[in-house]
Amino acid sequence: MTVDFKEYARRMDKALEHLNEDFGAVRAGRANAKVLDRITVEYYGSETPLNGVATISTPDARTLIIQPWDTKLLKEIQKAIQTSDLGINPQNDGRVIRLVFPQLTEERRKDLAKQVKKYSEDAKVAMRNIRRDGMDYVKKLKKNGDITEDDQKKAEKDLQDLLDKNIKRVDAALAAKEKELMAI
């Protein structure tokens, strides 16, 4: 009998997806609308994502322009950006909000590189926990007599191979993000 690891593979894919979302929120000196994905504003009594109440455009490499559909939201949006950990002061001209991304300093680049390393390490830990859950499942199957010892060994090897493949994907994503951060 072969053990099905689709659920564990799906969970590892989710962990990688989450890592990519975290990486997207780290600004790399260029204007990227993804850095605003985590910012929400109060809109008719409920917290709404910024991209749900405004158009976000990138006129050049260092500027984002946020144009709310309702100009009454300008102050709310400005406040939400200021209280976020974005580290950029929004400029409100009464119609749109401009975010100008300064050139990253070497020190800031190194801080961001540490931050993305931490994100990737968190993803690896999550994947190792998923592997541990899979190993526990395999041991339970063996204990119940549903699989043989050979099946158990093969299943554990398959699970380890799945983890190794996903760890390589995390490392590749980390290398790409670090390269993007260190590019001037």
**Structural domain boundaries of the chain?**
6-23+105-182, 30-100
Using 50, 70 and 90 to split pLDDT, how confident is the model at 131?
very high
pLDDT per residue as tens digits for the range 35-91:
777 788 888 888 888 888 888 888 887 788 888 888 888 888 888 888 877 777 888
Please say whether the beta carbons of 167 and 128 come within 8 A: no
Using 50, 70 and 90 to split pLDDT, how confident is the model at 3?
confident
Domain 6-23+105-182 is in which class? mainly alpha
**Would you state the CATH architecture of domain 30-100?**
2-Layer Sandwich (3.30)
What does the pLDDT read at residue 184? 58
Q: Is the pLDDT of residue 172 over 90?
A: yes
Q: Is the pLDDT of residue 166 over 90?
A: yes
What does the pLDDT read at residue 161? 94
